[in-house]
Structure 1
Amino acid sequence: MKKRLTILIIGLLCISTALHATDIKINSVRELAEYASKSGNVITMAPGVYRLTDYLTIDSMWGRHERNEFSYITFSGNNNVFHLEGVEIEVDTKLRTALKPPIHSDEFLITGSDNTFNGLTLRCKGEGTSPGGTVLQVAGKGNTLNDITLYVAGSFPYGYGDLFGKGKAKETVIRHKKHSGLLVTGSDTKLYRCKLYNRSFGHCFFVQRNAENVYFEDCYAEGVVRSTDDILAETSGPAYDVNFRTWTKNREGKYVVTPGYMKSLCEDGFRTYGPIKNIHFKNCTAKNTRAGFELRTNTGVRLENCTTIGTERAYWVGDDAVLKNCKGDANYGPLLFVEGSNVDVELIVDSAESDRLVHALVTVQGANNLVVLKSAQGKRRKKELPILIGYTHPMHGESMSPFDEGETIGLQLRNETGMPIKIGPKASNCEIITDGKVIGNEGKQIKIKQI
């Protein structure tokens, strides 16, 4: 009874807050920053293109640095609705250079809870760089983002993806100044129809710090791809200066950029770090990103009707992941890496092909996994790519690097793609139904049935 009364009181307070919300009309970034720290309002901003430098000048950045004010605008208020349809804020990346913030600081930060943001566009411009932060972080609880669009730029070097390292790793050849898009660290965050166009080395959408109950629907992440042949044709610049030395070895055991591959110039479209519980993706798409969905958290992830296009690797999942009616291509790299156990995967293989080197369609390791692979209706790949059972992903996921062997127990695989299957010596007690040929079987107690 006491619990029900508490819930009733909370509900009445929420209704009261909504009824007493104040309607505010604004037409400047300064006013937006002012109401960002207040609560219980409905703020509508006049449509238009606004320059952040009209509110924060380059000259003011040192003072903000001295005061440890590394966010341009912090939305610390609660229970607000921001109507920002048709509003675009131009963010001069030179501001970040002048501010000299610490690594992993954010430009726009949502720390308040139970807010709704509708329609804002943030566009990075200029030649400045970030030391490793994000354009927008959602840190508060229970926030909803609708139709938010980010155009991300401002990293160094840009044009090589992760060929020369990712950051502070000891193997890194070129130290990066990364600039990522949208980070979620707050639980119960919901994102609908959000789009991110990444022209920077950094992630598009990513989730960290034990956030729970995060939901993405109809969201889109897009990067740019570049061939390694084009990179090797450079006669000056960062890659040339290090003799094209990479941080991972290629299939010949050499640490050098190898022709024939395609690289994404950004990091992942959708990424998780750490034990993220109950994260759900529905109708989301990643195009030309490094990984489409790299969701290696071991606490369960669900994807429905998601799509990848032209990624270096499409889906990469850990324990208890569920993928239903998802699809993707192996145009520039593998469609799927399974490294966990108890996954339930249903993937449709798009028929798109290119002249780039790709060495596998799928790799599977782990225990008690269920994987179903289908072809797009009426369309099948022509070039054969092996499905590797009992093999790991290559080092750092890099397509130029070799695969290793990995223990695989109790796999149930149904292959309706016509692609061949190779079974390694560390695979055992697996059941395979396939319409493709088996090009090698070193496993133990492997049951194979041809369709």
Structure 2
Amino acid sequence: MIKNNQYQKLKSHFKTLLYIFGMLIFSQTIHAKDIKISSLKELATYASQSGNVIIMTPGVYKLADYLTVDSMRVRHEQNKFSYIVFSGSNNVFKLDGVEIEVDTELRTALNPPIHSDEFIIQGGHNTFHGLTIRCIGEGTSPGGTVLQVAGQGNVLKDITLYVKGSSPYGYGDLFGKGKAKETVIKHKKHSGLLVTGSDTKLYRCKLYNRSFGHCFFIQKNPENVYFEDCYAEGAIRTTDDILTETSGPAFDVNFRTWTQNREGKYVVTPGYMKSLSEDGFRTYGYSKNIHFKNCTAKNTRAGFELRAEGVRLENCTTIGTERAYWVGDNAVVKNCKGDANYGPLLFVEGSNVNVELILDPAESDRIVHALATVQGRNNKVVLKSAKGKKRTQDLPILIGYTHPEHGESMSPYGEGETSGLQFVNETGMPVKIGKLTRDSEIKTNGKVIEDKGGNTKVVQDN
């Protein structure tokens, strides 16, 4: 055992080390150089250095002027699959009014391995202000993202990405995704902004996605990631329009899908709306302390598909998504809102969640089969109507049911174990309680169209 005097000495040494470390960081900040640059070559040079303030002259900078198509073969041979790597630390990059124009033909010429990223923030404790990256052209990527934030403690403010460069584009995930064995058409995906580094903070970042891939997403289990006032937008297309094609990849596979529809057929079904991108905000793995505040997703596949444990959302919004919110264990969703214009407002598949959602009454002529599905243990869910307005079209709330396969709107719903649920429905929408629901309390101002639950108290508040 450590004696008291030894403990006090160790404590004193530790405080001294902390002080020295803090002074080193403070000294670096105080003596940071202001460096003005006006080229991508200079930006790449200072990206690998530390302790500077980089101020770049506003303007449009074409990546192809710095890294030519002809140079891509050599870069491939040298295993240089990223365009610029920010490997330095403790920098401030003032890039307001700076736009990097990225011709996607460069990616085709480079032919990188799957999941290679184009711009990488590898160092730590950097701050980036105001950069825009715009993809142009008709080239494709075999995977990967425009920008990855891999280092620790980086802050991004007012970053805007315009993403394109996937193949095929125009069908969303109708024909599969990734390495799934059911995939009918293999994709070359191209995503937006990936966070893998802990303590990353993003403020007022915007992503306009015209590619099959995610907008903002998190992988490799980082902790303490924060999004505030961020915006993700995709594009949408009706399945009816897809079925009018007389040539192309969908036509070539006879419109065969990777999931079955409600008639048990694997075919594109008219009447639905598809997002052409993947999710607006997405988590993978076991990331901890992920927080979203005042963020919006529009026309993406899922608005917020956050199935990692303990995610928190405040004042977030979805508009025109295939499904709005999809949450897992211990999620907290407060004062968030969304519509069920093209698909469900909510999927709950975890336990111990606390959800408060406001339903926007927007409607369309597209087929939607449910407002929400809820399964799991000890969940608290409150659904309200925006300004007390009720939808004219009824959408059932399915308690004791699972989301459809892969979340696909055309596919049927299953049933899932549900217990200890406290559910309040103030939307006026009907409620359907499945046979796997038990030991729950449900208060609703909508009619109960079916109740097969066990030991479940239902109070109708009409």
Coarse TM-score class (shorter-chain normalised): over 0.9
1:264-313 residue CA offsets vs partner (Å, 9 max, x unmatched): 0000000000001000000000000000000011x210000000000000
The match for 1:38 is 49
* TM-score, normalised with respect to structure 1: 0.99
Name the counterpart of 2:375. 365
Query: 1:356-395 alignment to 2 at 5 Å?
Result: 356-395=366-405
Letter in 1 for 2:198: S
- 1:419 is the counterpart of 2:429: yes
Q: How does 1:249-264 map to 2 (within 5 A)?
A: 249-264=260-275
The 2-side partners of 1:4 and 1:426 are apart by 56
User: Which ranges of structure 1 fall in alignment gaps of 5 or more residues?
Assistant: none
Q: Which residue in the other structure is 1:439 paired with? A: 449
Deviations 1:360-410 (A, max 9, x none): 000000000000000001422111100000000000000000000000001
What's 2:348 paired with?
A: 338
How far did 1:14 drift?
Answer: 1.4
- Structure 2 equivalent of residue 82 of structure 1: 93
- TM-score, structure 2 normalization: 0.97
1:180 is aligned, of 169, 184, 191, to 191
- Report how far residue 160 of structure 1 moved: 0.2
Which stretch of structure 1 is more off in the superposition, 374-383 or 20-29?
374-383
SS of the residue aligned with 2:213?
coil
Q: Name the counterpart of 1:351.
A: 361
Amino acid at match of 1:36: A
Per-residue deviation, 1:107: 0.3
User: Structure 1 counterpart of 2:458, which letter?
Assistant: I
For residues 174-213 of structure 1, the aligned pairs below 5 Å read 174-213=185-224
Whichever of the two has the greater Rg, that structure is 2
Separation of aligned partners in 2, 1:279 and 1:111: 20
1:7 Cα deviation after fit: 2.5
CA offset at residue 13 of structure 1?
1.4
Give deviations 1:36-74, integer Å, cap 9, x for gaps: 000000000000001001100000000000000000000
Hey, what does 1:448 align to over in structure 2?
A: 458
* 1:21 correspondence with 2:29: no
1:6 paired residue number: 17
Offset at residue 123 of structure 1 (A): 0.1
Correspondent of 2:299 among 282, 288, 306: 288
- Give 3-state SS (helix, strand or coil) of 1:35's partner: helix
Deviation at 1:351, TM superposition (A): 0.6
Deviations 1:394-443 (A, max 9, x none): 00000000000000001000100000000000000110111011000011
Whole-angstrom CA distance in 1 between matches of 2:326 and 2:18: 40
Partner amino acid, structure 2, of 1:362? A
Alignment partner, residue 102 of structure 2: 91
- Give the structure 2 partner of residue 311 of structure 1: 321
Partner AA of 1:167 in structure 2:
G
How many residues get paired? 450
* Aligned counterparts, 1:206-221, within 5 A: 206-221=217-232
- Give the Cα separation in 2 of the matches to 1:78 and 1:350: 44
- The equivalent of 1:128 in structure 2 is 139
Residue of structure 2 aligned with 1:61, choices 43, 55, 72: 72
Q: Which residue of 2 aligns with 1:329?
A: 339
| Structure 1 CA distance for aligned equivalents of residues 288 and 194 of structure 2 | 16
Partner of 2:23: helix, strand, or coil?
Answer: helix
1-structure distance, mates of 2:276, 2:418: 33
**Secondary structure of residue in 1 paired with 2:118:** strand
Give aligned-pair identity as a percent: 78
Instruction: Tell me which amino acid in the other structure corresponds to 1:73.
Output: I
- State the distance in 2 between where 1:5 and 1:332 align: 59
Aligned with 2:277 (options 266, 270, 275): 266
2:200 and 2:360 map into 1 onto residues whose CA distance is 31
| Aligned residue in 2 for 1:108 | 119
- Structure 2 counterpart of 1:51: 62
Offset at residue 8 of structure 1 (A) = 2.1
1:187: Cα distance to partner? 0.3
Rounded to whole Å, the distance in 2 between the matches of 1:87 and 1:68 is: 28
Letter of the structure 2 residue corresponding to residue 264 of structure 1: S
CA distance in 1, matches of 2:148, 2:216: 10
The answer as to 2:195 corresponding to 1:155 is: no
- Equivalent-residue separation in structure 2 for 1:372 and 1:378 (angstroms): 14
How well do the aligned residues superpose, as a CA RMSD in angstroms? Answer: 0.6
Equivalent in 417, 428, 440 of residue 407 of structure 1: 417
Residues 139-160 of structure 1 show CA distances to partners (whole Å, capped at 9, x for unaligned) of: 0000000000000000000000
Amino acid at match of 2:17: T
User: What is the deviation of 1:167?
Assistant: 2.0
Offset, 1:15 = 1.0
Offset of 1:348 from its aligned partner?
0.2
Deviation at 1:10, TM superposition (A): 2.1
- Measure, in 2, the Cα distance between the counterparts of 1:438 and 1:201: 39
Q: Distance in 2 between matches of 1:8 and 1:370?
A: 45
SS at match of 1:444: coil
Distance, in Å, in 2 between the alignment partners of 1:110 and 1:104 is 15
CA distance in 1 between counterparts of 2:391 and 2:327 reads 23
Counterpart of 1:396 in structure 2 is: 406
SS in 1 for 2:36: strand
Find the aligned partners of 1:411 and 1:401 in 2 and give their Cα distance.
25
